[in-house]
Amino acid sequence: MGNSRLKNSALNFASGFLGRVLTILLNFIVRTIFIHCLNEAYLSVNGLYSNILTVLSLAELGFGSAMVFRMYAPVAAKDYQKTAALLHFYKKIYAIIGAVIFGLGLCVIPFMDYIIKDKPDVSGLTLYYILFLINTTISYWFASYKASVLYADQKEYIKTNVQNATTILQSVLQIVLLLIFRKYLLYLLVQLGCNIILNLYVAHLVDKRYPQIREHQDARLTSDERGQIKKDAEALVLSRFGHVALNGTDNIIISAVVGVLWVGRLSNYTLICDSVTSVLCQITAAITGSLGNFFATEDKHAGYLLFRKIEFLNFWLYGFSFIALVTLLDPFVQIWAGGRFVLGLPISIAIAINFFVAGYMNTLWVFRSTLGLFKQGKFRPILVAILNIVLSFVLGKLWGVFGVLFATFLSRASISLWYDPIIIHKYGFGVSAKPFFTRYAKRILLLLVILELLLWVREMVFSTEITVLNFIAMAAIVTIFTNIVFWLFYHGCEEYSYFKMIFRERVIAPIKRKLT
């Protein structure tokens, strides 16, 4: 990768990482205030409505990914006329998508009694849902499509910085208003207002940073170009459908089958997992734009070696986090939110497994999208989605929340976990996927051995009671032991040596220069 690409990747990662850490802290503060100022029913409604809107966002149909992929080349070549034409098409499509989502969202309202089992005694449920709906659709109408230029130009950090600032503003206002008025309506209005500010200001920055694009406002795509984008989106919509069915329906099914209050209890766990995921995803998100340029200029062998390095780092980060989540989720929730929100070890294991598998799939998706492998295996997500919904209802009836969560893993394991690697290796790199599966089988076995040992240690550490002190002790044991074992097994491999060199050159060396 060139120096400019490395610099932009570093800026994307640095701003993204720091922003995510800040966002996580603020989210936990806001959630803590939320739990203490409003009753559990509001927490459940908040989680359920978020899930419903995630499903409705399926109407986006993958156009965002298709458009960014098409922008890599013209943005890199500074072809502002083509970029302007792409943006104009993007704007039209997003205006339609926003209207469709809003219309579908309104159609859901009459069916709320079927979706919400054991409906809580909360006034204004329909109003709250409409505010959620407006907050989701507003992004499609308020020029958010312009941010695609930043992604394609590897300058995602610009949007991230604005996002961090609006997150601080939103969190402070929500905390103050919750403490003073204890009104969920004000909480949602602040969320809506800050989302509008974010989208409008990012659009303003894009206009200011790329004035050449505005000089070509009359530029339009040819019918062939529009047709190619639509073909990419048609392939992507199936992947998006599968993603939403796997990740966006659990709360809806839990609400309908088990009870809406379980959605609120589960949302504390998902907040923790999402917080960890958001930090780890900065690594892949920061290099996605660079990958697009990388594969446009490098050969397949170089791409395969890069894939090996990134999936190794992905395993280390997500593998460690998986073990930490299984061993620490329940005690953390007990200390933070209280004993009534603790769900137990089986559910923690199911949550952590889905977290790990989603991280594994995220790396594969990053490479599939940047390689443009949208059409290969395009019907696979439909099969996974149907299987997940059926299994979720069946296992949810049998085992409750655990059954719904475990169904998600079973659905992925049956198809996606083995099929997606084959697509990337065969069509992206032209090599066999067998070495990949052999490596991962050994890694999973190692994770299970480490986990079994640490669960035994956990029983001893928390044998009497769960306190902040012994939680910190257990967290230290998990961190040190897991990473030492990883180091013992992998410090001799090429991928480890690569990241060790990167760490020395970009972290240790600059520090030494400043000290001398």
453 closest CA partner among 291, 294, 326:
326
Interhelix angle for 416-423 vs 401-414, to 10°? 30
Give residue for tokens 């958001």: 278
- Residue 1's pLDDT is 44
What is the distance, to the nearest Å, from the Cα of residue 26 to the centroid of all Cα atoms in its chain? Answer: 18
Instruction: Report d(CA 266, CA 274) in Å as an integer.
Output: 12
Terminal C-alpha separation, the chain: 29
Question: Can you list the positions of beta strands (E) in 100-158?
Answer: none
The pTM for the full model equals 0.85
Contact 356, 450 (CB under 8 A): no
Residue with tokens 């180091």: 487
Instruction: Tell me the C-alpha distance between 136 and 401, whole Å.
Output: 27
Scored b (16 or more CB within 10 A) or e, 204-215 reads ebbeeebeebee
Secondary structure letter of residue 121 according to DSSP: S
Q: CA dihedral defined by 181, 266, 276, 137, rounded to 10 degrees?
A: -60
Pairwise CA distance, residues 321 & 346, whole Å = 17
Amino acid identity of residue 465, one-letter, is E
Task: State residue 380's pLDDT score.
Answer: 77
From first to last of its 516 residues, what are the pLDDT tens digits of the chain? 445 554 555 555 555 567 778 888 999 999 999 999 998 899 999 999 998 988 887 666 667 777 787 888 898 889 999 999 999 998 998 888 889 889 999 999 999 988 998 888 888 999 999 999 999 998 888 777 888 898 888 787 788 889 888 999 999 999 999 999 999 999 999 999 999 999 999 999 999 999 999 899 899 999 998 888 877 777 667 667 777 777 778 999 999 999 999 999 999 999 999 989 888 876 656 555 556 556 655 677 888 888 898 889 899 999 999 999 999 999 999 999 999 999 999 999 999 999 999 888 888 877 877 777 767 766 777 788 889 999 999 999 999 999 999 999 999 888 888 988 998 899 888 899 999 999 999 999 999 999 999 999 999 999 989 999 999 999 999 999 999 999 999 999 999 998 888 778 776 777 677 666
Distance CA 398, CA 395 (A): 5
Decide: residue 83, CB within 10 A, 0-12 exposed, 13-18 middle, 19+ buried: buried
Instruction: Give the per-residue pLDDT at 140.
Output: 85
Q: By the 8 A CB rule, do 354 and 347 touch?
A: no
Would you say 291 and 373 are in contact if contact means Cβ atoms under 8 Å apart? no
* Residue 404, Ramachandran bin (φ over 0: left; ψ between -120 and 50: alpha; else beta): alpha
According to DSSP H, which parts of 248-259 are helical? 250-257
Task: Measure the CA–CA gap between 157 and 150, rounded to whole angstroms.
Answer: 8
Angstrom CA distances, 236 to 63, 242, 348, stand at: 8, 10, 31
